[in-house]
């Protein structure tokens, strides 16, 4: 094949001279982590809220939550990203739009990516939370109400603590997905891990080393997430119940 392997490439100064190529990869790695974690916080909070609303007796609230879920999970992630980044700033009132458009371009990319990934994933989290709530025996809700709890108290003390325990495994999947989906944000120019990998290829003509490094970095992230979530799952296990002792 005649390919010249050169793993030393990562320690050579980059073309712009201010860093090594390893430094580029590290910057991308940090960006991917920062973006994914901040989007995950949005996804988890909003997803929990929307998921709960889908199960409440109030038809209007439940319908609103359903509409939210259908909107965000039926439009491709890439299209959503373009809408957040290219279209929405134009629709803002001019005064706010100008402030946004004159801000740091990296900040613009980051905000659009964070909101996009967060809301996209929140619709998926909402579905997991809803299915967790619906999989609990109906009698649990009645038992809470029969003791004199209000409906919000019943959710808070009876339904949600069990529902969240049940959905930790599927939520782990979503957590892994958000790191992988963050690669899509390279399409609007955000220099996260995948984008840095591609940039490295452009500057060094060492595609194998570059993408092997990117691959390993994603695997490292996801193995870490899986390990942590598994530990978390064990810690919150209920004695005498699923997964407990």
Told to check if 162 binds another protein by CB under 8 A, we report: yes
Q: How many residues bind another protein (CB under 8 A)?
A: 23
State in angstroms the smallest separation of the CB of 160 from another protein: 10
Q: Which is nearer to another protein, 28 or 132 (CB)?
A: 132
Pick the binder of another protein from 6, 103, 142, 224 (CB under 8 A). 142
Q: Which is nearer to another protein, 93 or 138 (CB)?
A: 138
Which residues within the stretch 165-224 sit at the binding site for another protein (CB under 8 A)? Answer: 165
Told to check if 12 binds another protein by CB under 8 A, we report: no
Told to check if 147 binds another protein by CB under 8 A, we report: yes
State in angstroms the smallest separation of the CB of 111 from another protein: 38
Told to check if 238 binds another protein by CB under 8 A, we report: yes
Told to check if 158 binds another protein by CB under 8 A, we report: yes
Told to check if 149 binds another protein by CB under 8 A, we report: yes
Q: Which is nearer to another protein, 157 or 232 (CB)?
A: 157
Told to check if 135 binds another protein by CB under 8 A, we report: no
> Which string of DSSP letters, residue by residue, matches the chain?
------GGGGGSBPTTSSSBHHHHHHHHHHHHHHHHHHHHHHHHHHHHHHHHHTTSS-HHHHHHHHHHHHHHHSS-HHHHHHIIIIIHHHHS-HHHHHHHHTS-HHHHHHHHHHHHHHHHHHHHHHHHHHHHHHHS-HHHHHHHHHTT--HHHHIIIIIHHHHHHHHHHHHHHHHHHHHHHGGGGGGGT---HHHHHHHHHHHH--HHHHHHHHHHHHHHHHHHHHHHHHHHHHHTPPTTSTT--
Give the footprint of another protein on this chain (CB under 8 A).
137, 139-140, 142-150, 153, 157-158, 161-162, 165, 238-241, 244
């Amino acid at each position: 094949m005649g390919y010249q392997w050169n793993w030393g490439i990562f320690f050579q100064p980059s073309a712009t001279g201010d860093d090594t190529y390893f430094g580029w990869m590290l910057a991308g790695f940090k960006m991917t982590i920062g973006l994914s974690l901040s989007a995950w916080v949005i996804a988890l909070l909003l997803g929990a809220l929307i998921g709960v609303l889908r199960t409440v007796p109030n038809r209007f609230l439940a319908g609103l939550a359903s509409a939210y879920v259908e909107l965000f999970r039926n439009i491709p992630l890439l299209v959503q990203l373009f809408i957040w980044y290219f279209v929405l700033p134009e629709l803002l009132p001019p005064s706010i739009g100008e402030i946004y458009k004159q801000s740091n371009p990296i900040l613009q990319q980051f905000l659009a990516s964070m909101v996009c990934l967060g809301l996209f994933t929140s619709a998926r989290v909402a579905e997991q939370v809803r299915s967790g709530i619906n999989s609990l025996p109906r009698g649990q809700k009645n038992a809470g109400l029969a003791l004199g709890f209000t409906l919000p108290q019943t959710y808070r003390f009876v339904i949600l603590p069990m529902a969240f325990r049940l959905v930790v495994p599927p939520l782990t999947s979503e957590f892994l997905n958000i790191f992988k989906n963050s690669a899509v944000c390279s399409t609007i120019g955000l220099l996260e891990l995948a984008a840095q990998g591609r940039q490295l290829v452009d500057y060094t003509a060492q595609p194998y080393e570059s993408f092997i490094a990117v691959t390993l970095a994603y695997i490292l992230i996801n193995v870490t997430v899986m390990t942590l979530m598994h530990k978390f799952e064990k810690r919150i296990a209920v004695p005498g119940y699923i997964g407990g002792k």
